[in-house]
Chains A and B, each alone.
Chain A
Amino acid sequence: MEHIVIIGNGISGTTLARHIRKLSDKKITIISAESDYFFSRTALMYVYMGHMKFEHTQPYENWFWKKNNIDLVNGFVDKVETDAKKLLLKGGTSISYDKLIIATGSKPNKIGWPGQGLKGVQGLYSKQDLEMLEKNAPNNKVCNRAVIVGGGLIGIEMAEMLRSREIPVTFLVREKSFWNGVLPAGESAMINEHILEHHIDLQLNTNLEKIISDENGRAKAVVTDKGETIECNVVGLTAGVTPNIDFLKDSDIELGKGVKVNRFLETNVKDIFAIGDCAEQHENIGHRRPIEAVWYTGRMMGEALAQTICGQKRAYNPGHWFNSAKFLDIEYQTYGWVFSEQSKKNTEQHFHWRHPQEKVCITVAFDNDSHKFLGINTFGIRMRHEIFDQWLTENKDMDHVMTFLKDANFDPEFYTLYEDEIVAKYNADFNKNISPKKKSWKRIFSIA
């Protein structure tokens, strides 16, 4: 029986294993040194915040793996011997494979700051990182202040986590406005306000110069490029992630920043594949970057590769881009492409609406000439994935989106709806005369 070995038990590796099991009875082994059982990495923050226990982040009960005949190995892969089709694990054991899938994910970036190796300096990615944070910052007596460096999604999550234990947080963001490389200006500005509302000391336009050590080799302060020294006990480095592939450096597998793969997720070595955060496409797919460290793309690669491994060769062909996140109390969803001012083309135009009091806003991107709908960002409004997916596929224009916007709302019942105000602003901004249609189950369910 063919032996499929997967390194990494994150969402990509686990999805792959589950789908292979659905489609075949191949022998499957998953190797991980991080945790015995699959857990949802994105939920680690809720463990620290006390919303959930670690076991709640595990989507399957422990008996699931044995019942589905998926072998789990707790181990760290030191070396891949591609000729012998063998893995060497730390401690000396070896495992041979017929097909190998690398799904080892990412590790936090360390950019080379002086003092980044000190105690109390850490990223937040793995289960071990969370355990370390628990030791470094159990409460505001042990940790009087934390400084977080890097203005992205992990940074703001880490700030929220520390604030839940009333630890003072200074948040150093290199950009002029939070995440403005990704978000359009209005949205980024709203998140800036919300960060301050949560009593997080947000310092924009500020870089880390160095981290200062105390006599025991622990971080005791940081110095910024503005010459300010901030005393702190914990420094969170959250300036992005890189593929976790150091163990492949001496192998025959072609590496770039990540493991180089083609559209079939094959590496240059036969029978070896890579999926998830650590896979790097030779060429961008549409507007997507060659490496996408996103939960959903990891899952999708797992789904696609399972088909290939089980005999129906299928390219990884992601559909319309979507993503979501939560900034403290504000939920964010995006469908299609909305680029920030920094990266958008001249032909991309934005329609922005923001609620006068609440932290609610949307931005819709469209083509300047054809008025073709390109994408939407929503903050504080939930939208129905299927509807936008369909509209993008059918190349609908802005007028259509505005007319049927009510169909797309996914907020809980009785929530205040803003479509009328949104469309009114759209009419005013673009000199239109659109009246939004009432929500129709018939239309919604012809899609969903």
Chain B
Amino acid sequence: MQNSLDPRIRRSDLDSASGFNQVGENENWETFAVFHQDKRGDAHVFVGIVHAPDPELALVFAKEQYGRRKKTVNMWVVRSTDIYTFRHEDEDMFATVPEKNYREASGYPVRKRINKYLHDLEEAHS
């Protein structure tokens, strides 16, 4: 690469790697899921994965990749193989009754009931 504009490339012996074109299987290690906490009091949130040979290095890479820009106070990493999950195709199992008013606070208009009671009381006394 004598004609390269980059002096570092002109100094490197790139030809020594000319026959190399095969990264081995698993040479990029396994994957870890990264959970990021941007401030104390907030939940850790899944932000993506890193490739690493072990949890310690996974944390180092996670800091580099997911803590580089955003404010960060803490991180978790978890081996992808240690995550258990439902399948998206089974999401209908989360379907429940369409009307869930009975389990919402807003489904209980107590004040309306009280007002009606007071109103009826007033009517009865007048």
A binds B: no
Binding site for B on A (CB under 8 A): none
Binding site for A on B (CB under 8 A): none
